[in-house]
Chain A
Amino acid sequence: MKAFIVGVAICILLVMFLLFIQCYHELKIQQINLKYCTDECSSTAVLYYYDNYESNHLDGKKIFKEHEGLKGIKATINCYLNVNNDLNFVDNKIFKDKVHYKVYFFNGNGECNVYQDGIRERSFNFVFPYLYKDELLKYYKCISEPNVVVTIDIGKYYSNFFTTEYDIIMSSGYEYVN
């Protein structure tokens, strides 16, 4: 009987260990998916900019069509993360928080516009090269060309076994090199 109890105890321990591995691997897969999503968001947003024939005041500088870029970012997030139009996860047990995204448009004319969830938050002037510090991930990046930086926060990861203490965040910048 003693051997049987010990055996069952080992079985339960192994099952717990296995569940932990499964949850942890799922978290890593979601992080990689989010990384690809942010990459795609920034590369989509950088495609839309004013041409010379649309505006006579560009002087060869790259100015982004921010409202078009934001539309592209939202559509990309909807597809990759499978969220609804309000950026809430639908029928998802591992992510329950709302998705937030922050976009920095570093325009060629030295004006940077910051958008939080598609709404303009603030704008400031800068001079190339500019040392950008990400608000959520605290990393530094040198901005030497017109650039779009997208940071997406999908909230905490809830599993049956553990919940992350931190939010899952990824950031990506796409640079337009002249």
Chain B
Amino acid sequence: MKQFITLIAVFILLMSILIQIPLEMINHDNKIAIMYYVNNAKEKAKQEGYYTEGILKQLKKELSIKMKCDENSILIDDKTTTITKYRQNKYIKGENIYLKILVPFKNIIAADKFYKIDESNRYFVLENVTTSEKLGTKQ
């Protein structure tokens, strides 16, 4: 009986670690997917000259499907370029297209409720910068 009780005690501890291993793999896969979608959006913004509503909407939609979260919970930083930038003949710092996105990332720890860890308000933050390829028209 003593051995059985010890086994149960250890088994609970073991399970919380065991289920963490596949969760790590899933989280890794999700992170790569987020980076891929954000990079795709960046390439589109490069052509358009800025992050249009359509690009951001599409990005949010793709991320919400992948991360199984609400589109409104994905946050776009205010510094994100939403004004058209044109291709320049020389490098100008202010003419970059910038994006900072915060994607909610829950389920970091598998047995969070067992250990009473609060996992709300955790984000995977990505920022990138690119140069516009959009050509301006001469007046």
Contacts and interface: CB of A to CB of B under 8 A. Distances in A.
B131 interface: yes
B130 to A, nearest CB: 6
Given A25-B28, A47-B87, A79 B127 contact: yes
Contacts of B130: 40, 43-44, 76
Interface residues on B, range: 20 to 34
A44 B91 CA distance: 9
Interface string B4-28: 0011011001100110110011011
Contacts of A71: 91
Interface in A50-78: 51, 54, 65, 68-69, 71-72, 75-76
Contact of B17 (A14, A29, A43): A14
A11 B129 contact: no
Q: Chain A binding site: helix, strand, loop or mixed by DSSP?
A: helix
Interface residues of A, number: 34
Contacts of A4: 6, 10
B7 A3 contact: yes
B17 A80 contact: no
Contacts of B7: 3, 7
Nearest to A78: B129
B57 interface: no
A21 B26 CA distance: 12
Contacts of B91: 48, 68-69, 71-72, 75
A3 B128 contact: no
Contacts, number: 87
B93 to A, nearest CB: 7
Interface stretch (B31-39, B59-67, B68-76, B113-121): B31-39
A52 to B, nearest CB: 12
B48 interface: no
Contacts of A11: 10, 13-14, 17
A107 B31 CA distance: 38
B89 interface: yes
A131 interface: no
A33 interface: yes
Interface of B: 3, 6-7, 9-10, 13-14, 17-18, 20-21, 24-25, 27-28, 31-32, 35, 39, 42, 46, 87, 89-91, 93, 96, 98, 127-131, 133
Interface of A: 3-4, 7-8, 10-11, 14-15, 17-18, 21-22, 25, 28-29, 32-33, 36, 40, 43-44, 47-48, 51, 54, 65, 68-69, 71-72, 75-76, 79-80
7 contacts: A3-B10, A7-B9, A10-B14, A22-B24, A44-B131, A47-B131, A69-B91
